[in-house]
Homo-oligomer: A and B are copies of this chain.
Amino acid sequence: MSKSDIEIAREASMKPITEIGAKLGIPAEELMQFGPNKAKLSFNYLESLKDKKDGHLILVTAISPTPAGEGKTTTTVGLGDGLNRIGKKAMICLREPSLGPCFGVKGGAAGGGYAQVVPMEDINLHFTGDFHAITSAHNLLSALIDNHIYWGNELGFDERRIAWRRVMDMNDRALRDTVVSLGGVANGFPRQTGFDITVASEVMAIFCLADGLKDLEDRLGRIVVGYTRERKPILARDLQAEGPMTVLLKDALMPNMVQTLENNPAFIHGGPFANIAHGCNTVSATKAALKVADYVVTEAGFGADLGAEKFFDIKCRKAGLAPEAVVIVATVRALKMHGGVAKDQLGDENVDALKKGLANLGRHIRNVGKFGVPAVVAINRFIKDTDAELAAIQEFTKTLGVEAIVCEHWGKGSEGTEALANHVTKLIDGGSAQFRTLYDDETSLFDKINTICREIYGAEEAIADKKVRDQLKQWEEEGYGNLPVCMAKTQYSFSTDPNLRGAPSGHTVPVREVRLSAGAGFIVAICGEIMTMPGLPRKPAANTIRLDDNGLVQGLF
Residue A469, interface by CB 8 Å: no
Tell me how far the C-beta of A132 lies from the nearest C-beta in chain B, rounded to whole angstroms.
Answer: 4
Contacts of A181 in B (CB 8 A): 173-174, 177-178
Find out whether the CB atom of A142 lies under 8 angstroms from the CB atom of B551.
no
A6 within 8 A of B: no
Contacts of A241 in B (CB 8 A): 542
Specify which chain B residues have a CB less than 8 angstroms from the CB of A213 in the assembled complex.
Answer: 547, 551
Contact of A243 among B535, B538, B555 (CB under 8 A): B555
Q: What residues on B are CB-neighbors of A356 within 8 Å?
A: none
Q: Which residues of B contact A542 (CB under 8 A)?
A: 140, 144, 240-241, 243-244
Instruction: Provide the residues of chain B in CB contact with A343, threshold 8 Å.
Output: none
Is A292 at the interface (CB under 8 A from chain B)? no
Q: How far is the CA of A547 from the CA of B142 in the complex (A)?
A: 20
User: Is A544 part of the binding interface, using a Cβ–Cβ cutoff of 8 Å?
Assistant: yes
Complex contact A536–B147 (CB within 8 A): yes
A interface residue count range (under 10 / 10 to 19 / 20 to 34 / 35 or more) = 35 or more
* B126 lies within 8 A of A251 (CB): yes
Contact check: which of B140, B150, B556 meets A247 at CB < 8 Å? B556
Stretch at the interface among A27-35, A51-59, A72-80: A27-35
Interface string of A132-167 (1 = CB under 8 A from B): 110110011011101100110000000000000010
Evaluate whether A248 and B125 lie within 8 angstroms (CB atoms) in the complex, with A99-B136, A187-B174, A243-B555 already known.
yes
A25 at interface, CB cutoff 8 A: no
**Bound CA span A52–B74, Å:** 48
Known: A151-B538, A247-B553. A177 touches B173 (CB 8 A): no
Question: Does A179 sit at the interface, judged by CB under 8 A?
Answer: yes
A540 within 8 A of B: yes
Q: Which residue of B lies closest to A192 (CB)?
A: B182
* A243 to B168 Cα, complex, angstroms: 20
B126–A132 touching, CB < 8 Å: yes
Q: Chain B residues with Cβ under 8 A from A540's Cβ?
A: 144, 147
Specify the chain B residue showing the minimal Cβ separation from A144. Answer: B542
A546 and B243 within 8 A (CB): yes
CB closest residue in chain B, given A173 = B187
Decide yes or no whether A246 CB sits under 8 A from chain B.
yes
CA distance A183 to B174 in the complex (A): 9
Measured CB to CB, the nearest residue on chain B to A188 is B174
- Interface set, chain A 212-267, CB cutoff 8 A to B: 213, 217, 240-244, 246-248, 250-251
Q: Which residues of B contact A242 (CB under 8 A)?
A: 546
Q: Cβ of B180 and Cβ of A103 under 8 Å apart?
A: no
Question: Would you call B126 and A143 a contact (CB within 8 A)?
Answer: no
Q: Hey, which chain B residues are within 8 Å of A535, CB to CB?
A: 147, 150, 186
**Which residues 16-37 of A sit at the B interface, judged by CB distance below 8 A?**
29, 32-36
Q: How many copies altogether? A: 2
For A35, give its contact among B32, B103, B194, B546 (CB under 8 Å): B32
| Chain A contact surface mostly | mixed
Is A405's beta carbon under 8 Å from chain B?
no
Residue of B whose beta carbon sits closest to that of A145: B174
Closest Cβ of chain B to A539, distance in Å, is 9
CA of A542 to CA of B241, assembled, Å: 7
- The reply to whether the CB of A170 lies closer than 8 angstroms to some CB of chain B is yes
CB-contact partner of A174 in B35, B126, B143, B175, under 8 A: B143
Residues of B near A320 (CB, < 8 A) are none
A183 touching B176 by the CB < 8 A rule? yes
**Chain B residue at minimal CB-CB distance from A37:** B32
Kindly state whether residue A543 has any CB partner on chain B within 8 Å. yes
CB of A171 within 8 Å of the partner chain: yes
A172 within 8 A of B: yes
Is A545 on the interface with B (CB-CB < 8 A)? yes
> What is the bound-complex CA distance between A484 and B542, given in angstroms?
32
Partner of A546, one of B168, B177, B246: B246
- Interface core residue of A192, A217, A242, A547 (most chain B CB under 10 Å): A547
Cβ of A347 under 8 Å from chain B: no
Q: Is the CB of A178 within 8 A of B177?
A: no
A362 to chain B, nearest CB (A): 37
Complex Cα spacing A135 to B135, Å: 11
Chain B residues whose C-beta falls within 8 Å of the C-beta of A553 in the assembled complex: 247, 250
CB of A129 within 8 A of chain B? yes
Give 10 nearest A-B pairs by CB, closest first.
A243-B546, A177-B183, A132-B132, A146-B174, A143-B172, A177-B182, A244-B545, A147-B536, A179-B179, A244-B542
Task: Sample 21 A-B pairs with CB under 8 A, ordered by A number.
Answer: A32-B35, A33-B35, A34-B34, A34-B35, A43-B551, A126-B129, A129-B132, A136-B170, A142-B172, A143-B536, A144-B540, A144-B542, A147-B535, A177-B181, A177-B187, A178-B178, A186-B535, A217-B547, A243-B544, A243-B555, A247-B553
Other A-B pairs beyond A32-B35, A125-B247, A176-B187, 10, CB < 8 Å: A139-B172, A144-B536, A144-B540, A146-B174, A150-B535, A168-B168, A174-B187, A177-B181, A240-B542, A250-B547
